[in-house]
A = this chain, B = another copy of it.
Amino acid sequence: MLDTLGLDATSEQVYRGMLVMPGAGVAVLAEYLGLTEAEVRRGLDALSELALVSPGLDGRTRAVSPEIGLEMLMSRQQAELAARQKRLEESRVAAAQLMAEYADQRSVSGNLGGEQLVGLEEIRHRLTRLTREVREEVMAFSPDGAQTEENMAAARPLDRELLGRGVRMRTVYLDSVRNSAPSTAYAQWLTDLGGQVRTVAALPTRLIIVDRATAVIPVNSEDSAARAVVLTGQGMLTALCALFEHVWAGARPLGVAAPGRDEHGLTGQESATVRLLAEGRTDDAIAKRLGVSQRTARRIATALMERLGARSRFEAGVLAVRAGWLPQ
């Protein structure tokens, strides 16, 4: 995943190994990861290039926590300016995705600049305040749509007020909300008022960005009610905005019919499923990402395996790569 940051698979492995075993030496890491010491050293070199590791007080090399490393990385790339705009853009998207993923571990690796919100009450309160104070723009990923009809009813007055004030609202839902009549009705209502709504097969995380200055992400994507972080770091915000724009550009407006199949004959949900499976997600986690039931997620996976002619998940992974459904 970090390849767009210029990290090869081995270096990423070394990085993850160092996060798991802080302070481990080259020999231990090599043993643990099943790599040669030379490979580990090459990995360390690549990592120090990107400021993801640094020498500690005791002389040992240590992994920098993902958030801090990424924040530094972002600022540096910022400084390098737009000579390689495309590549920079890609890096930001990758970094933000990593960020969102590692949010789960924030409790372990310590807090960065951002402020933590604990409990549904606190989160809801902060979100209300933030959205009331919006000046320009709201961007949001809503993996679970508006959830209940009460939520929608509660949201309508605020939506109406913001859109009335001329705030630009862009929301990305999951394709699966199209299965629910109330959700589509709400989305349609938003559109009619001037909000922009698109859908996509899978979303990386729940996310709200206000005026490109403040972002709120749940710490644990499984239980978005428990804990969230408010991010205001400039590098991070740039990355998250890039991530949003990236997803937005690939998302499909409400009225537009589902495109048929991609170059491999896969639907959007199918290719998202392949990607998530390749990241090691369980069927259950995939179901949550796609906003469908476990049963349907398994049905998609089964269909993919049949298509590949695979008799086991392992073989399916192998064949998916060979079929070109996944990079490399």
A317 at the interface (CB under 8 A from B): yes
Question: How far, in whole Å, are A263 and B179 apart by their CA atoms in the complex?
Answer: 51
User: Does A25 sit at the interface, judged by CB under 8 A?
Assistant: no
A33 touches B321 (CB 8 A): no
A315 on the interface (CB 8 Å rule)? yes
- A277: which of B13, B315, B320, B321 is its contact (CB, 8 Å)? B315
- Measured between C-beta atoms, what is the minimum distance from A280 to chain B in Å? 3
Contacts of A280 in B (CB 8 A): 310-312, 314-315
| A312 surroundings in chain B (CB, below 8 A) | 277, 280-282, 313
A174 to B: closest C-beta gap in Å: 22
| A328, chain B: closest CB distance, angstroms | 5
Residues from chain B with a CB closer than 8 A to the CB of A328 are 321-322
The residue in chain B whose Cβ has the minimal distance to the Cβ of A34 is B307
Q: Is A279 an interface residue (CB 8 A)?
A: yes
In the complex, A323 Cα to B315 Cα: how many Å?
15
The answer, yes or no, to whether A309 is at the interface (CB within 8 Å) is yes
Give min CB distance, A289 to chain B, whole Å.
14
C-alpha spacing A33/B34, complex, angstroms:
38
Asked whether any CB of chain B lies closer than 8 Å to the CB of A318, the reply is yes
Nearest chain B CB to A242 CB, angstrom units: 26
Q: 1/0 contact trace for A274-286 toward B, CB 8 Å?
A: 0001111110000
Question: In the complex, which of the residues B9, B33, B317, B319 contacts A315, with contact meaning CB atoms closer than 8 Å?
Answer: B317
Q: A310-B280, A312-B313 are in contact. Are A9 and B321 (CB under 8 A)?
A: no
Asked if A314 and B33 sit within 8 Å, CB to CB, the answer is no
A318 and B317 form a contact (CB under 8 A): yes
Contact, CB under 8 Å: B265 / A315: no
Whether A314 contacts B278 by the Cβ 8 Å rule is yes
User: Do B317 and A313 touch across chains, with their CB atoms under 8 A apart?
Assistant: yes
Interface centre among A16, A321, A323 (most CB of B within 10 A): A321
Q: Is A35 an interface residue (CB 8 A)?
A: yes
Instruction: Report how far A322 CA is from B280 CA in the complex, Å.
Output: 15
Evaluate contact between B278 and A309: CB separation under 8 angstroms.
no
- What is the bound-complex CA distance between A319 and B33, given in angstroms? 14
A17 to chain B: closest residue by CB: B309
Q: Does A201 contact B (CB under 8 A)?
A: no
Task: Look across to chain B and name the residue whose beta carbon is closest to the beta carbon of A321.
Answer: B321
Instruction: Collect the chain B residues with CB atoms within 8 Å of residue A34's CB.
Output: 265, 307
A158 interface hit (Cβ, 8 Å):
no
Say if the beta carbon of A95 comes within 8 Å of chain B: no
Q: Known A-B contacts: A35-B265, A277-B315, A321-B328. Give 7 more (CB < 8 A).
A: A33-B307, A34-B265, A277-B312, A280-B310, A314-B314, A317-B318, A318-B326
The 3 A-B residue pairs with the shortest CB-CB distance in the complex, in nearest-first order: A317-B317, A280-B311, A280-B315
Interface residues of A (CB under 8 A from B): 9, 13, 16, 33-36, 265, 277-282, 307, 309-323, 326, 328
